[in-house]
Structure 1
Amino acid sequence: MGSGPRWLLIAAIVLLGIVEWGWGIRSAMTQLTARMHAESGRPYARPPVPVPKTHMFTRDEAYAFLTAAKRAEAIKDPLQRCIAYPDPPGSHWSHDAAVAYCHYGLQPLPLSFAEAQTLIQHGQSAELDRRLAAALHAQQTQPDSPGLLDRIYHESFENSSFDVRPTLDAWKRDSPNSAFAWAASGVAYVAMASAARGSNYIKDTPQDSIDSMHKLLAQADSDLRKAIALDPKVTPAHAALINAGALGFGRKYTDDAIAAAIAAAPDNYTIYGVAIWAKEPKWGGSLDDMSRLAAQAQTHAGDNPALKLMLSKRAFYEVSNCNCEQNIELASYPAALDEVASVPDLMDAGDAAKGSKHPAVAAIYLSEALRFGPEFDDARLHRIDALIDFDEAAWAVAEATTLIAAKPGDATLLEARANAYESLNDYAHAEQDYRTMLALDPNDTHALAELGKLLVYWTHDWNGGWDVANQLIKVQPQSPYGWILRANIQQQQPRAGLKDTVDYVEAHFSGDPQMAQIITQMRSALILQTHSGKQVLAGKAPPHG
């Protein structure tokens, strides 16, 4: 072939995509390394519910929101931080409801399980009862203490571990006429029953797990009914009874428990929340049932503005179970959550956008979840990617650093911070985090792949990248990741052995459809390298470096 036709061939190869070598391989590597992570589905079925598409948050709205959110998060006092926080763009959140929910979730709790355990062990059960009675009185009479007793029980006694049983049983023996003691025991039994059942569909749950659940629910029913007989105003007992009904006692039991609970405490946020949850279609209720309870709650919203959160429950359920395209689901959340929503719902809405092309949904709703529940580390972790997307990588680094201080050996947190460092072009610190991940687990192939991409594509540390490629080839010979890194170094540096590498990749990985484009690009690079007068560089190299 003459020189003219030969270079026409080369030009045609260039048009096939060799000019995209670096970015093309990098993109393919990202897709390939993503295989290392198994994806988990949502825990419940999503029946088809028609949801009209509304609008998506714009990037400008997200930028403005995050600016205001960062300003609020600088406030030290948790309650004032929550109150000062911006609402979602375009929403119509009731200020009174948001303030009430701030008080509900962020009020200081005057008792922990450890403190209760110490009192019981020292024969001071009467003092424990006195403190809980004071919390109930504050819940009933003080606007700044909404749901105080409910929050204490949720944090201290809603425990699925059998380790709490000796303490709770001793309390019941010491205070046989204490509604608080029987309620705490029943609440714990319901949590244990839920753990015994697991999160699978009932048809996929082993019979012995179902039997264990029912035994624990029977004990819960006995203790909770005794607590209510002693004092029907002890609201955690009512909420736990509704929960028990939804888990395993059926529709009539649940409906009776809801009616009794509302009669005992008609303006209680926790009772309405668990009641509407128990009325969801997946538990045998209906959307209309949810709407009726939400409307009933509004008759007491003047006394407890937090009840306005019930207005978003049905709409959120419909959107999160719409079985629709992701774009439609994400665009529907702003309308569904037009009124203040609970932390779990806000987290679910934010997580639904995780990894999507719409990071504004994740940034806004995960931030709102942290507004009311700053202790939820999962929301903080999941928000990091969204912060990076909106040019807040320094904020993302700070968030990740705080989380790592509490869990220094958590590889997921280290990777999140490394991604944030990369966005700041701080490759030295990113490399340090990847190497820390590898120190924790030398065979962490995902960390190796990420480190290799950083060294090869960003810092052009050819020797370091070569070492990582060799290690990937050694620990995961059935994977093309290490070979792709090696080929890129051989083409970019350049370094000897590209032909040897291309031949190996084609021989071992050509059956993978995702490798077709990569192999074509490798072959194109080899032809260009060969016909540019660098034939010696295409020669043999030892197969492992």
Structure 2
Amino acid sequence: MAWVLAGIAAASAVPVAQAPPTIKDPQVSYTAALQAAVLARWQVPASVRAGDMCAIKLTLLPGGEVFSATVQPGCEFDVQGREALLAAVRQASPLPYRGHEAVFQRETVVRFVRPVAPAPIAPIKPPAQFQEHLLQVRAIEAQPLDEEARCRAYPDLPGSEWPEGAGKARCLLLRAPILSLDDIDTQLGTSKGAADLDRRFRALMQAHYDDPAQREQIFIAYSIFDADPKAERVARRWLEQSPGSAFARMALGDAYARQGWKARGTQWASETPDAQMERMGSLFQRAVPLLAEALEKEARLSPACEQLAAIGRMSSDQLQRWAMGECLKVDAQSFFVLEEVMTQAEPRWGGSADAMRAAAALIAARAQQSPVLLTLTAVPIGYEADMADDWSEIVPDTVAASLKAPNAGYMARAGRGMYAQGDRWRGLAYVSQALRFHPGDDDELALRAEILLELGDAEWALRDAQRAAAVAPASGRRHYLLARVARRALGEREARAPLLQAMEDADTRERAYELYCQTYSMLGELAAAEACTQALVAEFPRNAEGWRMMAWVRGVQDDPAQALAVEQFMKYQDLDRWPHHARDLERYRRLKSAQP
């Protein structure tokens, strides 16, 4: 089966950007619009060479209708090329007019150059041991399934030692919450809304203990009460309407706790500013009484004791021991409770390697009744690997952990390490399995898109790049990746919208700007390309790629100002940063040495 299907353009659409925002001169903008309109209809014959230029004199009527078009002296196209270009002009009539009335000219000369087609990347066929597995994964990823259904449809990791059904059991954790914040807010607007919510959450709590198919869903139901202010507002409204409700207290306490974790951040405690730690402590002080009261009212509401144990791990040994004791009394089979047991055993939280192995043995004994727990038994194997700086060094330990249990974190690390070693196919299999269980991880979505792009499957890469950008909409890196993939899968124009997004991020602005200007030069949109590169080097004057593009655009138009662009290109060239400049650099050096 071919890995890159025909008709890639039918893949999920990327929004198309129009004229580049860098064009401020109305006359240049008009010329760019004329070029783009004709180029979109030009069927370029093979006889027209890349870099050849041809000027066409247009006689236009108000409204943009083409009255006549004539090839100008010096056109470098052959007869077939000239006829094809004139046919494109006729097909594009009427040319752009509205919005350009102030600079409209009855007669104008427009230059055209053959667009540069990207070098084709032949799809690489997977090795035999992964072919069937990855074909199944690819087919599943192309279907419009929800996260749990997609997870359940996946084949298990090749070579895994997981007990039968362990992977599908892990998929239960991907089920969507029974209600959204908006659902709860709407229900609280009805006469019996709070009472109905209490009954529904009580039933879900009971099902957690009684129905294996509903295990852990009470924890998932509370996940909507996150650090967002809206979650606090809805939870507070629920508690106001049902002041005796353990379930409403849990919701508000959970919201405060998650705000506290967000305030603390993800750095080591020694690297976290005091102000963040103080803010975390203040929010935890609000959360603890509410969670403790919820647990007092409903002893089997284990999300309350689990969150209290986590807060205790950060702030109070006494609270930690008490809360974990309460959890283990009533819910010693819960994935989330035992996940906290394993976390507490980690050396960074005061535990040890022996404590982790003991926790894994405790959990393994219970995994026979609840296969989802198997995921946690692999943690001690891969824990040391988490501390490594070099991804390639951690492959043996993370592979061992991955084969033992469906642990997404270790599969992701193993896949990343394999990719660092150049083992792309095995890396793809492991990263895909990680995404089976963590489908919203933008780091792994981005990594899989990179691997797929290198392997020639731009269609699948596009879906992953779109998902990664949707998960992290403020990340310039994600939009830059999406642009690179869209460029390969759909074409130069379709890369522009995500590039504009990437240009909003200071970390990716310069390289996104480069690629943005390239989309115009690659398509032969000379006026837009020149305006874009002028703006690029004005903002980043040491950008050799900008000067190289400007030298090319001016060269094909026989513009004497090319000499300045060449001089600046040679001045700022950096082959470590732009290795593809070597050929242009050598060519310009030869031309310069040949000058009298």
Q: TM-score, normalised by structure 2?
A: 0.68
2: distance between equivalents of 1:104 and 1:441? 34
1: distance between equivalents of 2:497 and 2:235? 44
Structure 1: gaps spanning 5 or more residues = 1-57, 537-545
Query: Equivalent of 1:132, from 201, 225, 228?
Result: 201
Amino acid at match of 2:156: D
Query: Equivalent of 2:352, from 278, 283, 286?
Result: 286
- CA distance change for structure 1 residues 471 and 63 in 2, over 3 Å: closer, same or farther? farther
- Matched-pair contact (CA < 8 Å) for 1:434–1:451: no
Aligned twin of 2:298? 231
- State whether structure 2 residue 546 is matched by structure 1 residue 479: no
2: distance between equivalents of 1:439 and 1:209? 30
| Structure 1 stretch displaced more, 141-150 or 333-342 | 333-342
- Matched-pair contact (CA < 8 Å) for 2:486–2:495: no
- Matched-pair contact (CA < 8 Å) for 2:503–2:512: no
Instruction: Write the mapping of 1:163-178 to structure 2, written as runs, cut at 5 A.
Output: 163-178=230-245
- State whether structure 2 residue 511 is matched by structure 1 residue 449: no
2: distance between equivalents of 1:167 and 1:417? 36
**C-alpha distance after superposition, 1:88-130 (max 9, x if no partner):** 2322233321111112322x53323333333444453222111
- Matched-pair contact (CA < 8 Å) for 1:346–1:365: yes
Amino acid at match of 2:312: G
Question: What's the secondary structure of 1:397's corresponding residue?
Answer: helix
- State whether structure 2 residue 537 is matched by structure 1 residue 468: no
Structure 2: gaps spanning 5 or more residues = 1-125
- Matched-pair contact (CA < 8 Å) for 2:170–2:406: no
What is the CA distance between 1:63 and its match in structure 2? Answer: 4.9
Aligned twin of 1:152? 221
| Structure 1 stretch displaced more, 410-419 or 232-241 | 410-419
Query: Equivalent of 2:180, from 112, 121, 127?
Result: 112
- CA distance change for structure 1 residues 206 and 496 in 2, over 3 Å: closer, same or farther? same
- State whether structure 2 residue 156 is matched by structure 1 residue 87: yes
Question: What's the secondary structure of 2:212's corresponding residue?
Answer: coil
Aligned twin of 1:51? none
Aligned twin of 1:194? 261
Considering only CA atoms, is the larger Rg found in Structure 1 or Structure 2? Answer: 2
- Matched-pair contact (CA < 8 Å) for 2:357–2:380: yes
User: What do you get for the CA RMSD once the two structures are aligned?
Assistant: 3.9
- CA distance change for structure 1 residues 441 and 248 in 2, over 3 Å: closer, same or farther? closer
- CA distance change for structure 1 residues 206 and 265 in 2, over 3 Å: closer, same or farther? same
Query: Equivalent of 1:203, from 235, 255, 270?
Result: 270
Count of aligned pairs between the two proteins = 469
**C-alpha distance after superposition, 1:362-389 (max 9, x if no partner):** 5334422332344555543442222222
Query: Equivalent of 2:336, from 270, 291, 300?
Result: 270
- Matched-pair contact (CA < 8 Å) for 1:239–1:271: yes
Query: Equivalent of 1:70, from 138, 158, 167?
Result: 138
What is the CA distance between 1:234 and its match in structure 2? Answer: 0.7
- State whether structure 2 residue 400 is matched by structure 1 residue 335: yes
Higher helix share: 1
- CA distance change for structure 1 residues 494 and 96 in 2, over 3 Å: closer, same or farther? farther
Instruction: Write the mapping of 1:323-472 to structure 2, written as runs, cut at 5 A.
Output: 323=389, 325-343=390-408, 346-347=411-412, 357-360=422-425, 363-376=428-441, 379-400=444-465, 414-424=479-489, 426-433=490-497, 437=501, 444-454=509-519, 465-472=529-536
Amino acid at match of 1:483: W
Amino acid at match of 2:290: D
- CA distance change for structure 1 residues 404 and 337 in 2, over 3 Å: closer, same or farther? closer
Query: Equivalent of 2:388, from 318, 322, 331?
Result: 322
- CA distance change for structure 1 residues 125 and 499 in 2, over 3 Å: closer, same or farther? closer
| Structure 1 stretch displaced more, 124-133 or 379-388 | 379-388
- CA distance change for structure 1 residues 531 and 374 in 2, over 3 Å: closer, same or farther? closer
What is the CA distance between 1:498 and its match in structure 2? Answer: 6.2
What is the CA distance between 1:265 and its match in structure 2? Answer: 0.7
**C-alpha distance after superposition, 1:165-222 (max 9, x if no partner):** 3443443454444322222222222112112222233233332322222222223222
- CA distance change for structure 1 residues 333 and 171 in 2, over 3 Å: closer, same or farther? same
**C-alpha distance after superposition, 1:472-531 (max 9, x if no partner):** 112222433312333566789987566544543555x48x79479899866632343356
Aligned twin of 1:313? 379
What is the CA distance between 1:271 and its match in structure 2? Answer: 0.7
- Matched-pair contact (CA < 8 Å) for 1:417–1:430: no
- Matched-pair contact (CA < 8 Å) for 1:506–1:519: no
Aligned twin of 1:6? none
Aligned twin of 2:364? 298
Question: What's the secondary structure of 1:94's corresponding residue?
Answer: coil
Amino acid at match of 1:262: L
2: distance between equivalents of 1:171 and 1:409? 32
- CA distance change for structure 1 residues 190 and 502 in 2, over 3 Å: closer, same or farther? same
- Matched-pair contact (CA < 8 Å) for 1:182–1:223: yes
Q: Percent identity?
A: 22
- CA distance change for structure 1 residues 451 and 116 in 2, over 3 Å: closer, same or farther? closer
Aligned twin of 2:122? none
Amino acid at match of 1:114: D
1: distance between equivalents of 2:211 and 2:428? 34
Query: Equivalent of 2:568, from 486, 501, 504?
Result: 504
Aligned twin of 1:99? 168
1: distance between equivalents of 2:266 and 2:181? 26
| Structure 1 stretch displaced more, 110-119 or 498-507 | 498-507
2: distance between equivalents of 1:113 and 1:469? 47
**C-alpha distance after superposition, 1:41-94 (max 9, x if no partner):** xxxxxxxxxxxxxxxxx9665554431201233455544432231222322233
Question: What's the secondary structure of 2:372's corresponding residue?
Answer: helix
- Matched-pair contact (CA < 8 Å) for 1:397–1:417: yes
| Structure 1 stretch displaced more, 239-248 or 108-117 | 108-117
Aligned twin of 1:526? 588
Question: What's the secondary structure of 1:89's corresponding residue?
Answer: coil
